[in-house]
Structure 1
Amino acid sequence: MDKLRIVGGQRLQGAVAISGAKNAALPQIAASLLSPEPLELTNLPAVSDVENMLGVIEQHGARVSRSAHAVSIDASAAVSGETSYDTVRKMRATVLVLGPLLARFGQAQVSLPGGCAIGARPVDLHIKALSLLGAEIGIEGGSIVASAPNGLAGARIVLGSPSVGATETAMMAATAARGETEIVNAAREPEVADLAACLSAMGANIEGAGTHRILVQGGTSWRAATHHTIPDRIEAGTYAIAAAITGGQLELTHARLEHMASMVQVLEATGVSVWPGDRGLIVSRDGPLRSVDITTEPYPGFPTDLQAQFMALMCCAPGASLLRETVFENRFMHVPELMRLGANITLQGTSALVRGGTPLRGAQVMATDLRASVSLVLAALVAEGESVVNRVYHLDRGYESLDRKLGMCGANIERIR
């Protein structure tokens, strides 16, 4: 397995091109199975999760033509079949093919998902949404087995929590259902709105995406489409923290301020300057860091996908900060590894108390999930001496060329085996 060797102490300076959003690309790839017409997706990140999702739709008979950061998908000859565990175990997002397959073919079988071990992340909300649309769903032999022999029908779906995945599943399935579907307590994330934009380009009639109430008119007449995936706000937030933690200045090209308001507000409270530039955002820190408390929340609140990175930053801020995790119940797996670097962190249930300001020291650390792994890289950028981050395949799931991008901005980092 690849590792990252990092020697800390370098101030980052330069420009980082923010890639397309992985969490937007994955449902868009799944949505291609809804239509017999071709779909071209551009601005896709070159990460393993995207490649795995493309492999899933190829498993169902879709033809995929790849080029640099773009794919052309022809799902005209797609079939339902079974999405095998060997594919699904690599990431949880593969459950997103369930809705499109069911909607188009009247049946689907998808193995229960795997992926990062950061909590239960159950699929019950997906199943409930599809059941309300008229599907019959059961769990057999570790797989979700769904059928709708008479097709799906529009319904009012009230989600128990604003789940991004369940919102996307309901929205995709509803495009092929008879009549109107109302999704209440829908997730408001930019990635949900971007999926709606992709579906609309494909011919769907969707209103309200980006709000708590989405209306979908079913019976879509599909057409060929092209869609440009939005930039990755989590990647942009990660590099913003990289600038902050090293006391540097980075230009985040393509980053969108409107997608990062809560993150920017918190960063500014720590003493970091963020302002729009001609090509994106510019992030800079000249003075000392200040400790700040955060609570993760669904969008537009502070994102859970930046909690680990922000914890690394707070390890360098004098004073105490309290980080509350309300989205995933087991998302503090990076804490023991940060402590190996010298961090002073106390876990209290779903909160972590960070006493920062003590210099971090280089060490061997182990990545446990995607965002945890990048928090260790951030901490290593300022740790005294050399650190080695093991199992960085987690990083490759969601960060395109992280070591190259950091190296071009002055980090002392290399990939080793």
Structure 2
Amino acid sequence: MDLRSVVSLYESAENLGAPVASVHLDTTHDDRLSATHIEHRWRALRDGLAEHGCDEATLTVLDKAVGGVPDLPGPQGESVFAADGRLLGVHTLAAPPLRDHASLLPIPDALALVVDLDHQLPHVVVAVDDHGADVDAFPVSAEQPDTRRTFHGSTLHLAGLLADGPVTGVTRRRREGPWAAVADQVAQDVLAAVGEVKARMVAVTGDPQALESLRDRLSPAFSAPGDIPPDLVLVTGGRPSGGDPATLAELRRSVDAALHDATTARHRAALERFRGDLARRRAAEGVPDTATAFARGRATALLLAADRDHDPQLYASATDPRALATQAPALDGDPTAFAGQAGALLLRSAVAAGAEFSEILTPHQVPDGTGALLR
């Protein structure tokens, strides 16, 4: 994935020059006690941040932001960032993070957020019923001011549907009438929507015959030379009417499943490329060699496993993203040097370098679950 979507987070933190509290929390609301459980788990993370020296103004800002979106059906998580009493970003994730965790570092720890983004693709959802069709176009994430909540992937889709109106980054086209009367117009709407977000998938729900009808109409455009055409897939759920929770939940599950299949194939392809480049000595593996590659400006892509429970430490400069070392003495001359988990520090270097990112899926045999492609 392209890491430009998180550049502003790092820039905002750098401009403040204060320690950044990064919180990643499972905020699934699946029963009446969910809000209480989320509050208890946040309190445990809050206590840990306070013990590590997080100021009360920043904790208070986090208190107001943490908690998820109760009206959003299905699993969700959130990543929240704050520093110096200011909110830097609050993001609803399409899936809960692997575990609840919080950190206080001179830089954001955005790995859980990036992993969630890496499981999304820009896509279009076409919902058809006897009364017409809706064509909704969704980028990977909605660009919002830093102090507003953003949504990603299928949560962005649901946010658009629940709002029943404009959501930043989302476009909706609605056609009323029986399929035979609107099919040609819907096909044109789909082509326009695909172009707007550079969609990699078109999910059709509500009528299996509509998928084949659209395929026939779109095939000439998708067969033209140039960009790779998006995949057309049939999903369940139907055309949501009035934000019906059951329909929304089913549609989310089916769109999530289709996105999962597509991104899994992409991740496997990236890992195969990495293994091939490693054999040709055009890749680095393991934390030490990957850190060296970024420190020397040779890395073009970062590959990380999401599960970093046993992540080794690295040492970095708070002012220079390329200054990375496995031993503290290597950065002795830098008064801003600090230690942190390798994943968070390598990700910050990758963002600064304009590198790409791909998750290493488990099971794998990559040392430290860490690697890089080299220029």
- Could you state the TM-score of these two structures normalised by the residue count of structure 2? 0.29
- Per chain length, whose mean CA-contact separation is higher, i.e. which structure has more relative contact order (CA < 8 Å, sep 6+)? 1
Which has a greater percent of helix?
2
- Could you state the TM-score of these two structures normalised by the residue count of structure 1? 0.27
